[in-house]
Amino acid sequence: MKFGYFDDPNREYVITQPDTPLPWINYLGCEAYFGIISNTAGGYSYYRDARLRRLTRYRYNHAPLDFGGRYIYLRDDESKEFWSPSWQPTRKDLKDYSCRHGMGYTVIGSEYAGIAAHTRYFVPLGENLEIWQLTVTNRRATKAVLSSFASIEFCLWDAQDDATNFQRNFNTGQVEVEDGVIYHKTEYRERRDHFAYFACSEKGAGFDTQREAFLGRYRGWDAPAAVEAGQLTNSIAHGWSPMGAHQVKLELAPGETRQIVIVLGYHENPRDQKFDPPGTQTINKKLVKPAIAKYLDPAEADAAFDRLRAHWDSLLGVFQVNTPDIHTTRMVNIWNAYQCMATFNMSRSASFYESGIGRGLGFRDSNQDLLGFVHMVPSRARERILDLSATQLPTGGAYHQYQPLTKRGNNDIGGGFNDDPHWLIIGVSAYLKETGDWSILDEPVQYDNEPGSEQPLYEHLQRSFNYTLSRLGPHGLPLIGRADWNDCLNLNCFSDTPGQSFQTTTNKDGKVAESVFIAGLFVHAGRELAAIAQRRGLNAEAETYMAEAAKMEAVILEHGWDGEWFLRAYNDFGGKIGSKECEEGKIFIESNGYCTLAGIGLEDGKAASALAAVGAQLATKHGIVVQQPAYTRYYIEMGEISSYPPGYKENAGIFCHVNPWVMIGETRLGHGDLAHDYYSRINPSAREEIGELHRCEPYVYAQMIAGKDAPTFGEAKNSWLTGTAAWNYYAVAQWILGVRTTLDGLEIAPVIPKSWPGFTATRSFRGVVYNIIIERQGEGNSIALTVDGAPIPGNIIAPPSDGRKEVTVKGILS
Ligand code: BGC
Ligand code: NOJ
């Protein structure tokens, strides 16, 4: 069953039923001001950091689901009936409900009692504010006398504190109302220089800023007393729960349409200009008023919206394809790329599943996110790389996370995840391949944000590599530390106390447990680093990296091979994990996927054997599970992985993040049919038809789909913020379609299904537009290329030496 449809020409997903299985969300903002918005207008906004600068309040895991939002009410002032055109929070029986989630905007609307209304929500480029354009049309044959109410509930900035510290927070709330604009200024009098504002384009018939006055005692957002009464109370919040509501009276003739613009924004004043007049406690509004006035003008709002659309045209325009499979085409051209922007911006901080208070930006996560993002805005990728590497520790290790507002490593989580440093090499390498901007390697970058510790970025990569060399275990494989990619394989944790964090509790000194996955990653990163070193003329150094990678490869083939597939790890007792000798967890996806992706065992058949075993034992119709058999009890020596019921999350769930490693591995073996088949099993668009089972949004990937051991096999969870976005994008774009960036130019090496007659693509790459036409003439994967009609040797197209800015590349597959 479907709950909507794709509108590809408009790059929208249209939801036609408000009670989707879960809130289906979208993101507003792509620079500094962000919001999440659900299909029924739920969600919240924040400035840069979802924990520390939360503008509006949201109630996670609330019943009913998805509460707190950008709620608009309409009231028929004659019949006294009121409703919300976005369904929530009044949940009336609406006609023609639709929610259009688009690129950085959402439009929600419906008709009720002959009144059609829709609201377009978006964040203009370059601004720290969001615009709601409410359009109301009278479809009755008679005049309509209406009131509209727009409302939000302010969060007292620190979302964690806001949800817990009531003894203080019920006293601190403060607002100002001036010229009809509501200013939320809690704590502005002391150390905060920032405030939020909520403004309306029409002369108001009333406002409220105190939640209790608006809702009434013991009442909820589904039936606010002031809306029911048809008159806001002009309340001023003193403590308790500051909010914003604006009432506008509307008289509409039959057929008449009116637009009301609402602006919610954030502003920071220079500390020495906080108050106006100086010496008072009144906010200086001089610097913010122009922006408010500008965007309350519907023409300006429309123009800002057009700029946003054009921005997305150009971002997505970097890579567009036309393939025989609609789900591939749609995800590559629109939604997967769009999701990559969200993961780049948010890392794993704010979604319907990430509360925005738990995590900052992950070191491992953000580096991997670059794989799917770097082609869209390389300059931001560059900045991110420099920020990430500045949190790197002098040992070459990394803080596992950092806070985006402070850009500092997060001490609460610390480091010791021994895969982390290598992702920096993978991220930088992806950046260099995309841009050819070698200057980044010479940028001076601090360690642990210590002034004076600056070294060229290149040295950070060297230290990343060496980090592992000085942390090898008994078999010569890398020590796992707290965990590797699989945060839940906690081999040194040995936790028997409730509430301990599996990831930060370390009860063993960690000199035995080893990771075959990190070994594979080390080989991959080592070869990438060698290629970089070589192009910098550091041939001897490059040879050392190659030699170390070869040595590790040999160790993997000797001690990391189980006979038919790659082992996963050795535990603290030196016992095998991911071996046929194990009772449970005999075979894992990560080591098998990553080792083959890295090219290990391609020559001697081990890669083929490993992936055949993955296919036979881990692949299901809904995707490839993490391991088999699932752990049926808690193993203290394994940690969190065995804490999940079988089939969920890391305990044999289908982790969509790692499925692409197998897809890439299959392309390396030349298996285009299987690679694309695996790709399609988890492709959200291809799963749209089974929406009732899948439950999450059909336009973005979820982190996890319940595995075959789970009672809810096929059910997705944790959509949006996952490494799944970048890796699937990278796998399909660069390995299946094979339009691949390399240090030397654009490589064309498709490994597509045999039944495909070909495909076309356009790719902007280092200032040149490549129009690519692939034609299948045989069933294999060998390709013969011409560039503007001239055959070229090999399949890497060097940048045109004669300054051509657009070329046509034709590839014949045979
Ligand atoms: C989850 C992992 C996640 C980790 C992050 C665990 O509970 O299962 O997927 O990486 O938390 O801290
Ligand atoms: C989600 C985390 O964000 C990521 O860093 C980790 O690799 C996976 N879960 C697997 O545990």
Cβ of residue 365 lying under 6 Å from some atom of ligand 2:
yes
Yes or no: say if 298 and 261 are a contact pair by the CB < 8 Å rule.
yes
Nearest to 38 by CA among 74, 6, 69: 69
What is the structure's pLDDT at 408? 87
15 to 20, 102, 364: CA distances (angstroms):
8, 11, 34
Q: Give the three-state DSSP class for 36.
A: strand
What is the structure's pLDDT at 402? 85
Task: State the Cα–Cα distance between residues 594 and 676, nearest whole angstrom.
Answer: 18
Assigned token pair, 763: 């790719």
Task: State the Cα–Cα distance between residues 528 and 367, nearest whole angstrom.
Answer: 15
By CB atoms closer than 10 A (0-12, 13-18, 19+), residue 272 is exposed
CB within 8 Å of 742: residues ≥ 6 apart: 433, 796
Mean pLDDT of the chain: 97
Ligand 2 centre distance from Cα of residue 487 (Å): 6
359 to 219, 350, 353, 506: CA distances (angstroms):
33, 9, 12, 20
Among 346, 371, 626, 657, name the best residue to mutate to test ligand 2's pocket (greatest count of ligand atoms within 8 A of Cβ): 657
Ligand 2 centre distance from Cα of residue 729 (Å): 17
By CB atoms closer than 10 A (0-12, 13-18, 19+), residue 591 is buried
Ligand 1 centre distance from Cα of residue 488 (Å): 7
Task: State the Cα–Cα distance between residues 390 and 409, nearest whole angstrom.
Answer: 9
Cβ of residue 401 lying under 6 Å from some atom of ligand 1:
no
Ligand 2 centre distance from Cα of residue 723 (Å): 8
Instruction: State the closest ligand 2 atom to the C-alpha of 485, by its place in the atom list counted from 1.
Output: 7
CB within 8 Å of 272: residues ≥ 6 apart: none
Give the residue numbers annotated as catalytic, written as ranges: 487
Task: State the Cα–Cα distance between residues 568 and 474, nearest whole angstrom.
Answer: 15
Ligand 2 centre distance from Cα of residue 486 (Å): 6
What is the structure's pLDDT at 361? 86
Residue type, 586: K
| Nearest ligand for residue 489 CA | 2
Instruction: State the closest ligand 1 atom to the C-alpha of 703, by its place in the atom list counted from 1.
Output: 9
What is the structure's pLDDT at 106? 99
Sheet holding 361-362, edge to edge: 361-362, 401-403, 408-409
Q: Give the three-state DSSP class for 660.
A: helix
Considering only CA atoms, which residue is closest to atom 5 of ligand 1? 487
| Nearest ligand for residue 661 CA | 2
Assigned token pair, 757: 């007659």
Which residue has tokens 């009755």? Answer: 140
Task: State the Cα–Cα distance between residues 432 and 743, nearest whole angstrom.
Answer: 7
Instruction: State the closest ligand 1 atom to the C-alpha of 503, by its place in the atom list counted from 1.
Output: 12
Ligand 1 centre distance from Cα of residue 645 (Å): 14
Ligand 2 centre distance from Cα of residue 301 (Å): 39
By CB atoms closer than 10 A (0-12, 13-18, 19+), residue 309 is middle
Low-confidence ranges of the chain (pLDDT < 70): none
Cβ of residue 488 lying under 6 Å from some atom of ligand 2:
yes
Q: How many CB atoms neighbour CB 814 within 10 A?
A: 12
Cβ of residue 650 lying under 6 Å from some atom of ligand 2:
yes
Query: 73 pairs with which residues across the strands?
Result: 149
Yes or no: say if 89 and 13 are a contact pair by the CB < 8 Å rule.
no
Yes or no: say if 72 and 149 are a contact pair by the CB < 8 Å rule.
yes
Instruction: State the closest ligand 2 atom to the C-alpha of 483, by its place in the atom list counted from 1.
Output: 11
Cβ of residue 323 lying under 6 Å from some atom of ligand 1:
no
Cβ of residue 649 lying under 6 Å from some atom of ligand 2:
no
Residue type, 231: Q
Cβ of residue 348 lying under 6 Å from some atom of ligand 2:
yes
| Nearest ligand for residue 365 CA | 2
Q: How many CB atoms neighbour CB 446 within 10 A?
A: 18
Helices (H), 222-318: 225-229, 289-295, 298-317
Instruction: State the closest ligand 2 atom to the C-alpha of 364, by its place in the atom list counted from 1.
Output: 5
Ligand 1 centre distance from Cα of residue 411 (Å): 18
Q: Give the three-state DSSP class for 391.
A: coil
Task: State the Cα–Cα distance between residues 556 and 517, nearest whole angstrom.
Answer: 10
What is the structure's pLDDT at 161? 97
Cβ of residue 650 lying under 6 Å from some atom of ligand 1:
yes
Instruction: State the closest ligand 2 atom to the C-alpha of 655, by its place in the atom list counted from 1.
Output: 10
What is the structure's pLDDT at 506? 80
Cβ of residue 722 lying under 6 Å from some atom of ligand 1:
no
Cβ of residue 649 lying under 6 Å from some atom of ligand 1:
yes
Assigned token pair, 528: 């990438």
Yes or no: say if 287 and 192 are a contact pair by the CB < 8 Å rule.
no
What is the structure's pLDDT at 520? 98
For helices 516-535 and 457-469, what crossing angle results, to 10°?
140
Considering only CA atoms, which residue is closest to atom 10 of ligand 1? 487
Task: State the Cα–Cα distance between residues 245 and 545, nearest whole angstrom.
Answer: 62
> N- to C-terminal Cα distance for the chain?
40
Cβ of residue 362 lying under 6 Å from some atom of ligand 2:
yes
Which residue has tokens 């839940």? Answer: 488
Ligand 1 centre distance from Cα of residue 788 (Å): 49
Cβ of residue 485 lying under 6 Å from some atom of ligand 2:
yes
What is the structure's pLDDT at 360? 76
